[in-house]
Structure 1
């Protein structure tokens, strides 16, 4: 059996696991991929602390992941656990680190926004066909949004913005459905962030979207009867149709959003905020369509780990 590596991405809304190994051509061979919606960022924007219930949900997922890692023969030294926006913002992050250490035997790393952006870019481009450059990778998370523009294997510009689906929902889009005033305030806030992001979105000739907001939008656009990863990966949504879809979703109640067959129930209450972010990016991006990738920061983490092992 080939040496297996694993990555855990502990985000604001979900915690995800990838187990993979290097194929003969150097590309990743996926062994297992799991997602649990734990909402680690519950209330962090308002209180500055991780909520006990959110920690309990996250630790339960870690226990499930520990069993899977054992089944797949992944040694702790070949696992990297990355915590992102919610853990960066929380005063009591040590409670998360101690719980992860106890259950998985590794130290949780709180990556910087810039490293998160670079890992997301590497993972996203690894899973798509040759694309016209420059390529813009956008990862809309629960607490932050990463934007990276790259060309010929090098990064031209990248940033991590403190706008995410959970953060904006709790701070600005509180109505169900959001009021016109709330939507306008959110649009203004997102536009202000994009105005000074330093990434020339208009230069992008290919736009790749990763993570839950993007994949959910693709599934909804396709009208899938249930979420289908294979049909989502590599799918495209024309830019103007994407903007219309985002606007439509923002106008719906959580109950109406949960009625979308491919919608995860725990994403329905925050997807509207994610849609505002995507729509405002779509208004600026130079590419004619969105390409949705199921490979993302997890793939970037494992690729980096395999590369490090090869250099030893």
Structure 2
């Protein structure tokens, strides 16, 4: 069966088209557009008209791709920013006009379940229990389990939210870094009340912040998802990369070969979130996974 999954987060919107037969999974195409749908939502509680326009322009591209590829089933999930926006119906109806389906505004728990399904698919159960950490634009999910989710918590410390809240200039000053760190640590401690974050055998980190930090740690000349997928990144490397990115000017971050243009403004805060998670969990390393909520959504269709 040919399926399409669209994941619309706070920072990016992504499409995966795949053929799934039994346990066989073949990726047909995978696309990403950074649209910053969550622009200003943390402050205003509403979608900005420009953000909706950017996102629906990307949906137009994806609708054409889905039609061209002969997709049989579609699932469209919207996450943190859409949960928070009071004018979400403008966006939902815009998607319906283009695709004939309305996005599911999924809960943090469902987001966690789908991320876990996607992230652990390529790893043996013997590597569990797993802690899957999904650092998005608006929220971060902590998901613990071996073959199924045993506990999960979503907290509002995504890379866009932390950037808008704390890293307001080009180079954050020590006070801003300290305030962001305090905010992040408080959210991690809330997650730790429900999720045994120190008990996992394997920490898996998914989504663009984690894979970009992995690219930096691996010193890749350009972004290479095959080199990044299932790479083991030591905690010490994560802390070093985070400190380096926080001290870099925007022009320096822009010039990094592996850096997606849409991530330049939010990677410093995102890397700090990952660094604080590594400290809180005590994990010696994380496994970077290119399989995430999109893959989980695709599997959920069969």
CA distance in 1, matches of 2:233, 2:63: 37
CA distance in 1, matches of 2:242, 2:257: 17
- Aligned residue pairs total 300
C-alpha offsets along residues 12-69 of structure 1, whole Å, 9 cap, x if unaligned?
0000001112145x13211111100100011111111111111111111111101110
Structure 1 residues 162 and 283 mapped into 2: Cα distance closer, same or farther (>3 Å)?
A: same
Q: What is the Cα deviation at residue 130 of structure 1?
A: 5.3
SS in 2 for 1:226: coil
CA distance in 2, matches of 1:23, 1:215: 28
SS in 1 for 2:143: strand
SS in 1 for 2:118: helix
- Quick one: which of 69, 72, 75 aligns to 1:72? 69
Structure 1: unaligned runs, 5 residues or longer: 307-312
Q: What is the Cα deviation at residue 129 of structure 1?
A: 4.9
**Aligned CA-pair RMSD:** 1.2
C-alpha offsets along residues 125-153 of structure 1, whole Å, 9 cap, x if unaligned?
113355522111000000000010112x1
SS in 1 for 2:104: strand
- Structure 1 contact 247–279 (Cα < 8 Å) conserved: no
Q: What is the Cα deviation at residue 250 of structure 1?
A: 1.5
CA distance in 2, matches of 1:127, 1:27: 12
SS in 2 for 1:292: strand
CA distance in 2, matches of 1:223, 1:50: 36
Q: Partner residue of 2:120?
A: 125
- Quick one: which of 223, 235, 240 aligns to 2:236? 240
TM-score (normalizing by structure 1): 0.93
CA distance in 2, matches of 1:99, 1:127: 35
- Quick one: which of 250, 253, 257 aligns to 1:254? 250
- Structure 1 contact 203–286 (Cα < 8 Å) conserved: no
C-alpha offsets along residues 243-300 of structure 1, whole Å, 9 cap, x if unaligned?
1211221222222211211001110110111111101100022432111111100111
CA distance in 2, matches of 1:185, 1:286: 22
CA distance in 1, matches of 2:253, 2:123: 29
Q: What is the Cα deviation at residue 235 of structure 1?
A: 1.2
Q: Partner residue of 1:10?
A: 8
Asked whether 1:98 is paired with 2:93, we answer yes
- Quick one: which of 127, 137, 141 aligns to 1:146? 141
CA distance in 2, matches of 1:29, 1:52: 37
After superposing on structure 2, the runs of 4+ consecutive aligned residues of structure 1 that deviate more than 6 Å are none
- Quick one: which of 157, 166, 170 aligns to 1:172? 166
SS in 1 for 2:263: coil
